[in-house]
C-alpha cells in the first residue's frame, strides 16, 4: 500500500516530488479530526444529524475521511504518473482512465467481488455495509463536489488484483489505527428510521469531506512525503495532526467567539428612537431551538437593524455562530456589505477577528472588500497600514473562491449564492455545510418570482433540517407566500405544521416548536404603544 502515490508534482521546481497515497488520506482525516475537535458547534451538528454520540461517531468519521481517495489505488489512475507506477509495479496494462478516481472509489465499494475482498477479514459484516456504510462512503468518495457516478462496471476493469489486495490492506490498517466501535453501530443500524436518517445526514458529510480534502491537499501545509518506512501511526502523530492543526488555523475556519447579549443602542449607536419593530427585536423572547422569523413592515421601519439584532441574540444563545444575508441584486448586496461592515464586530467578543465576506460575481469591483482580504494569523496584532483591514477583514483562503464564501463568519451576497446549496450544482454540499452554523437572513423576499420562491422554500427546509434559524424580511409579503415559507421550515425542522391565521400589517411572525402545546405565534405590531398583540395559531 506504500507503493501508490496520492499527490504528485506538488511543489514548484520539484516536478518529480510525490506524496504517498496512505499519507495523503491520513492528512485529510487529520483535518477532519482537528476541525471537529476545535469546532464544538459543528461537532454538535454531526452528533444531532447522525444521532450518534461523539465517542462513537468521530472514529468512524476519521476512517471514512481516510477512505475518500481509495479510488486512487486503481492502476488506471496510478498510470497517470507512469514513471512511478513502472518503478513500483513494472508493466502498465490498465491505461483507460475514463472514470475519475472519486467514482472509482465508490465502484470499489459497489462491486460485490471487491467488497468481499475488502471485508475478507470479517472486520465488518456486509449487512452493516449495506445498511449504513454504503451511504456514508458514497458521500465521502464524492469529494470533488459531485456525487460519484454509480456504475455496474466491474472493479477489475480499473483495479488489478494487487491493487484490490493493497486497498484491502489499507482499509484494515486504518481500521486498526482508528478502531471504530462496530458493535455500537450494528446495534444502531437495527432501527430502519435511523438508517433513513443517514441519507439526509450524508449531505453534511459530503460537504465536510470536500472541505477537509481542500485543506489536506495544500502542499504548503502538508509537505510531500515519500518515506515508505513510516508506520501509519507514526505519520498520523508526527506529521498529519500537527500539519492539520496549522492548516485549519491559517485558513480562518474556526468561528469567532460571540459576544454576550448587547443592547440595540450598542450595536447601532445612531438609533436614538428605535422603531416598534426594532424594540421587539431586542425584547421578544427567543426559545432555545431553531426558529423562523418573518419581519413585515414598511420601507424605513428598520428591518435590517431588527434582523441583525435577532441574529445577534440567536448567536449569543449559541443557536448559531454567524450570519449570511442574501439579497436580490449585486447593488443591494454591496450596499448591505457597507452597512454591516460598521457593526458586525460588535456581535463577537473583543479581540476576535471574524471574517466578513462579499459573495457575488462582481465582488472584485468592491474596493473595501479587496482591502479587507488578508492572510489570517491567530496572533496577528498588526493589521497593516490600511485602516480598513483593522475593522473589516477576511481570510485570504476563504476569499479566493466564491464556493468558500459561506464558510466565513459573516457573509453578504446575492441570494443565488445560498440557493446553489440546494441545486444540482458542483460543491453544493460545501455551501450547505457553510450555512449549517449561520442565521440565514433573506431580504426583500417579495421580490422573487414563483421559481425562485420554490427554491427558497427548499433552502429553508434544508437549513431547518441542519438545525439552522432563518429571518425573512419584506415590505409586502402575500399571505400565501408567508404560509409556504412557514410550512417549508416546519417540514425541515420536523415541527408540527399549522395554518397561520394572522394577516395584519405590519407583522412579526415567529415560528418555533413548543412541545407542550404545539403552537406557533404571530404578532401584529401596534405602532401606538410599541407592543405586540399575540395571536395563537
Full domain range(s) for residue 400: 264-536
* Bridge pairing between strands 394-395 and 292-296: unpaired
Q: What is the pLDDT of residue 537?
A: 30
Among 251, 283, 315, give the residue marking a domain's end.
251
Q: Indicate if 268 and 193 belong to the same structural domain.
A: no
CB count within 10 Å of CB 288 equals 10
Its pTM stands at 0.89
Q: What is the pLDDT of residue 401?
A: 66
Q: What is the pLDDT of residue 117?
A: 73
Q: What is the pLDDT of residue 501?
A: 76
Q: Is the pLDDT of residue 331 over 60?
A: yes
Tell me the CA distances in angstroms from 313 to 91, 117, 460, one per residue in order.
64, 53, 20
Q: Indicate if 214 and 341 belong to the same structural domain.
A: no
Quote the mean pLDDT of the chain: 85
Count of domains observed in the chain:
2
427 domain-assigned:
yes
- The CATH code of the domain that includes 203 is 1.10.3210.30
Angle, vertex CA 321, rays to CA 144 and CA 525, nearest 5: 120
Q: Which stretch of 72-86, 112-126, 284-298, 490-504 has the lowest confidence by average pLDDT?
A: 112-126
195 domain-assigned:
yes
Determine contact, residues 75/93, Cβ cutoff 8 Å. yes
259 domain-assigned:
no
Q: Distance between CA atoms of 301 and 280, rounded to whole angstroms?
A: 12
Over residues 27-63, the pLDDT tens digits come to 999 999 999 999 999 999 999 999 999 999 999 999 9
257 domain-assigned:
no
Q: Is the pLDDT of residue 536 over 90?
A: no
**Predicted confidence band of residue 337 (pLDDT cuts 50, 70, 90):** confident
350 or 125: which leads in pLDDT = 350
Q: Indicate if 53 and 200 belong to the same structural domain.
A: yes
Q: Indicate if 158 and 20 belong to the same structural domain.
A: yes
Q: Indicate if 110 and 9 belong to the same structural domain.
A: yes
Angle between helix 192-216 and 21-38 (nearest 10): 110
Q: Distance between CA atoms of 308 and 340, rounded to whole angstroms?
A: 9
Segment holding 439, helix H or strand E: strand 438-442
Among 228, 251, 274, give the residue marking a domain's end.
251
98 or 531: which leads in pLDDT = 98
Q: Is the pLDDT of residue 199 over 80?
A: yes
Amino acid at each position: 500500500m506504500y507503493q501508490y502515490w496520492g499527490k504528485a508534482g506538488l511543489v514548484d521546481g520539484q516536478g518529480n516530488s510525490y506524496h504517498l497515497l496512505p499519507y495523503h488520506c491520513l492528512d485529510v482525516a487529520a483535518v477532519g479530526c482537528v476541525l471537529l475537535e476545535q469546532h464544538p458547534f459543528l461537532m454538535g451538528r454531526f452528533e444531532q444529524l447522525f444521532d450518534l454520540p461523539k465517542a462513537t461517531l468521530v472514529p468512524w468519521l476519521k476512517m471514512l475521511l481516510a477512505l475518500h481517495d481509495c479510488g486512487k489505488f486503481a492502476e488506471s489512475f496510478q498510470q497517470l504518473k507512469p514513471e512511478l507506477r513502472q518503478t513500483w509495479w513494472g508493466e502498465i496494462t490498465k491505461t483507460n482512465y475514463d472514470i475519475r478516481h472519486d467514482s472509482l472509489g465508490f465502484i470499489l465499494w459497489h462491486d460485490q467481488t471487491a467488497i468481499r475482498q475488502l471485508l475478507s477479514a470479517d472486520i465488518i459484516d456486509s449487512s452493516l455495509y449495506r445498511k449504513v456504510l454504503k451511504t456514508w462512503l458514497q458521500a465521502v468518495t464524492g469529494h470533488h463536489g459531485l456525487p460519484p457516478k454509480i456504475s455496474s462496471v466491474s472493479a477489475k476493469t480499473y483495479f488489478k488484483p494487487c491493487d484490490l489486495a493493497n486497498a484491502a490492506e489499507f482499509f484494515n490498517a486504518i481500521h486498526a489505527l482508528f478502531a471504530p466501535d462496530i458493535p455500537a453501530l450494528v446495534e444502531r443500524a437495527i432501527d430502519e428510521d435511523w438508517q433513513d436518517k443517514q441519507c439526509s445526514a450524508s449531505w453534511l458529510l459530503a460537504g465536510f469531506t470536500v472541505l477537509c480534502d481542500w485543506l489536506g491537499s495544500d502542499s504548503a501545509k502538508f509537505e510531500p512525503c515519500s518515506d515508505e518506512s513510516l508506520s501509519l501511526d507514526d505519520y498520523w502523530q508526527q506529521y498529519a495532526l500537527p500539519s492539520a492543526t496549522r492548516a485549519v488555523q491559517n485558513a480562518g475556519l474556526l468561528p469567532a467567539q460571540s459576544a454576550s447579549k448587547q443592547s440595540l443602542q450598542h450595536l447601532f449607536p445612531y438609533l436614538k428612537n428605535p422603531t416598534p419593530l426594532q424594540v421587539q427585536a431586542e425584547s421578544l423572547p427567543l426559545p432555545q431551538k431553531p426558529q423562523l422569523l418573518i419581519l413585515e413592515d414598511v420601507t424605513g421601519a428598520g428591518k435590517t437593524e431588527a434582523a441583525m439584532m435577532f441574529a445577534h441574540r440567536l448567536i449569543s444563545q449559541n443557536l448559531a455562530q454567524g450570519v449570511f444575508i442574501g439579497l436580490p441584486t449585486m447593488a443591494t448586496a454591496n450596499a448591505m456589505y457597507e452597512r454591516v461592515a460598521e457593526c458586525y464586530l460588535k456581535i463577537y467578543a473583543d479581540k476576535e477577528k471574524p471574517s466578513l465576506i462579499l459573495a457575488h460575481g462582481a465582488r472584485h469591483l468592491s474596493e473595501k472588500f479587496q482591502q479587507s482580504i488578508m492572510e489570517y494569523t491567530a496572533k496577528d496584532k498588526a493589521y497593516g497600514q490600511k485602516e480598513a483591514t483593522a475593522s473589516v477583514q477576511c481570510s485570504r483562503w476563504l476569499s479566493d473562491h466564491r464556493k468558500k464564501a459561506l464558510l466565513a463568519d459573516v457573509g453578504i451576497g446575492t441570494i443565488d449564492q445560498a440557493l446553489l446549496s440546494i441545486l444540482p450544482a458542483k460543491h453544493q454540499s460545501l455551501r450547505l455545510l457553510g450555512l449549517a452554523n449561520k442565521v440565514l437572513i433573506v431580504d426583500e423576499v417579495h421580490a422573487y418570482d414563483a421559481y425562485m420562491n420554490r427554491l427558497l422554500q427548499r433552502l429553508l427546509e434544508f437549513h431547518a433540517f441542519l438545525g439552522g434559524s432563518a429571518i425573512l424580511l419584506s415590505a409586502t409579503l402575500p399571505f400565501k407566500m408567508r404560509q409556504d415559507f412557514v410550512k417549508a421550515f416546519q417540514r425541515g425542522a420536523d415541527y408540527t405544521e399549522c395554518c397561520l391565521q394572522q394577516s395584519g400589517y405590519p407583522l412579526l411572525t415567529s415560528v418555533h416548536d413548543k412541545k407542550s402545546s404545539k403552537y406557533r405565534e404571530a404578532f401584529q405590531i401596534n405602532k401606538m404603544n410599541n407592543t405586540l398583540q399575540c395571536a395563537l395559531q
